[in-house]
Amino acid sequence: SESGNTYYRVVLIGEHGVGKSTLASIFAGVPDTLDSDLLGGRFYLHSLLLIYSTTLTIILYGRQGQDNMIQDHCMQVGDAYLIVYSITDRASFEKASELRIQLRRARQTEDIPIILVGNKSDLVRCREVSISEGRACAVVFDCKFIETSAAVQHNVKELFEGIVRQVRLRRDSK
């Protein structure tokens, strides 16, 4: 971006209810999502975060409705993407594949850092998507994979560190 290498826009996409807001809130250290009036109030913008002396903006998509304009916008603005599904919800896993295809279409020529995130790993008895399915999917997606639990805060820090590391690696190699 204009400000050099210190401004990263990480976009979380995924089906409603998979835990995007919860993940972002933990990382941001803020309890509430800022419900902005942007784009008709269906655009959720999290506060600016300081990590590694880096400013990271988190934008959440898919919290309500499936507005095409918002979706197109989100597919354009990210420096990096977290495609989130819930391990307890197979439909959300299938949605992740759809989103990966849309992202590829929107940003064809770019090498964008992406992590496939299987959230709610604490809900072991409700699991509908195995770890190996998640891993295999990430191979197809050509991206990294991690399972997280926002509820017990497992792998959340690792997730955000991972995405920032990937953005940096790509920028440093240019």
Contact region with ligand GDP (CB under 6 A), list: 48-56, 98-106, 116-124, 161-169: 116-124
Confirm or reject binding of residue 51 to ligand GDP (CB under 6 A).
Answer: no
Confirm or reject binding of residue 123 to ligand GDP (CB under 6 A).
Answer: yes
Instruction: Let me know the angle formed at the C-alpha of 79 by 78 and 84, rounded to the nearest 5 degrees.
Output: 60
Q: Which of 17, 47, 133, 168 binds ligand GDP (CB under 6 A)?
A: 17
d(CA 121, CA 18): 11
Confirm or reject binding of residue 92 to ligand GDP (CB under 6 A).
Answer: no
Q: How far is the CB of 84 from ligand GDP (least distance, A)?
A: 7
Cα separation of the two ends of the chain: 14
Looking at residue 171, what DSSP letter applies? H
Measured over the CA atoms of residue 82, residue 88, residue 94 and residue 98, the dihedral's sign is negative
Confirm or reject binding of residue 155 to ligand GDP (CB under 6 A).
Answer: no
Q: How far is the CB of 138 from ligand GDP (least distance, A)?
A: 19
